[in-house]
Structure 1
């Protein structure tokens, strides 16, 4: 990791899925739960297609912007599977936004907590930016942030890698790109997003487990010795 000038950094921006916790561990738990639930409910197996199309259609539309992304993401899925919007919302909410939360803390990168405490001590703000709503996930992870932003927020309405949310974050804190550091786990989304906003980017997957946070904490402590 290259040297970071902590004197300049005013805001740390964090992605959520795969950045705050080990996503592969959670996926294993999710797969087991889905199989266990639907094997005894074969009449509801169509729900799995809802989850598939919801994720796949969103992925296809990377960088998409609109006036109402929150609603449109469900409409994309409905067009593929011809299911009522309310049913789609219910299935997605249950399996993507509610069920995983109790398991998140067990999958967390524990190294992030002392690093976040150091940031607080040095008055460096923490912003969370996820393509999905993240407030409940943060509560489950026991992580506090100064600002939480989702791509579906009315102030953003754009999916990564469009950098609209990053500009929103910078405006909120009154900082420029040189005063921010962005950590994510996907170069094709987080990395491009950061590059377009001219913000320095670090990919957590290039480090062993959560060791990036330990390295950053040591760098920050060393800077202020």
Structure 2
């Protein structure tokens, strides 16, 4: 069930909010612009490394193409898909992805996170509402660079999940780990209805869509809490 009006959120009953990460906690378009120029600066003087750009393209493309898939070892499978497309080694794919996707962008995240995000997290902490993240990738470094602390971090590639959204495996795992009995007392916040929204529906959790045209999304959430007089 999608929540379209913040007035419909019962803050006094909420036990847990689960957040997607990319595009949900920070402005992904802003980060991509920074990354685009960084890639241009690096590769324009290293044209012999052009294949790295193809690796980045196919790594993302293959993950999108396999949305809703469950495999025994997703962590390795995501690299195998890309390596097969380019007929290169899995080690080469891992090297490029590790640098450009998992490490290089992290220092930019603090300047790309949405306004009011940290203040909203402080309100949740004050209300003793638990916080978790369910990300496509391991989010520990990202959260650290954004100065965000949560009670539980879950990624699609970790053992016990091994499935991509919109399958609800990750959300169900979080509910179990956090010992949530009534799903109506949870909320999943994400930025993609076709993945996060469907995932929330499959898990039976209320869903709130980050509307990217609203730069003050988290500021509005914090105001909504205060207006509830909790």
TM-score range, shorter chain: over 0.9
1:184 corresponds in structure 2 to 190
- 1:160: how far off? 0.5
Look up the SS of the partner of 1:170 in the other structure: helix
2:113 corresponds in structure 1 to 108
- Cα distance between partner residues in 2 of 1:222 and 1:36: 47
Q: Does 1:23 align with 2:28?
A: yes
User: Which 4+ residue blocks in structure 1 deviate beyond 4 angstroms?
Assistant: none
Aligned to 1:8, which of 9, 13, 28? 13
Q: Does 1:65 align with 2:89?
A: no
Look up the SS of the partner of 2:134 in the other structure: strand
- 1:114: how far off? 1.1
Q: Does 1:202 align with 2:202?
A: no
- Structure 1's unaligned 5+ residue stretches are none
- 1:223: how far off? 2.1
Contact 2:63-2:78 at 8 Å conserved across structures: yes
Residues 22/206 of structure 1: CA separation in 2 closer, same or farther (3 Å cut): closer
Q: Does 1:193 align with 2:199?
A: yes
- 1:73: how far off? 0.3
1:166 corresponds in structure 2 to 171
The size of the alignment, in residue pairs, is 224
RMSD: 1.1
For residues 96-130 of structure 1, give each alpha carbon's deviation from its aligned partner in whole angstroms, at most 9, with x where no partner exists.
00010010101111311111001101110000111
- 1:52: how far off? 0.7
- Structure 2's unaligned 5+ residue stretches are none
Q: Does 1:54 align with 2:69?
A: no
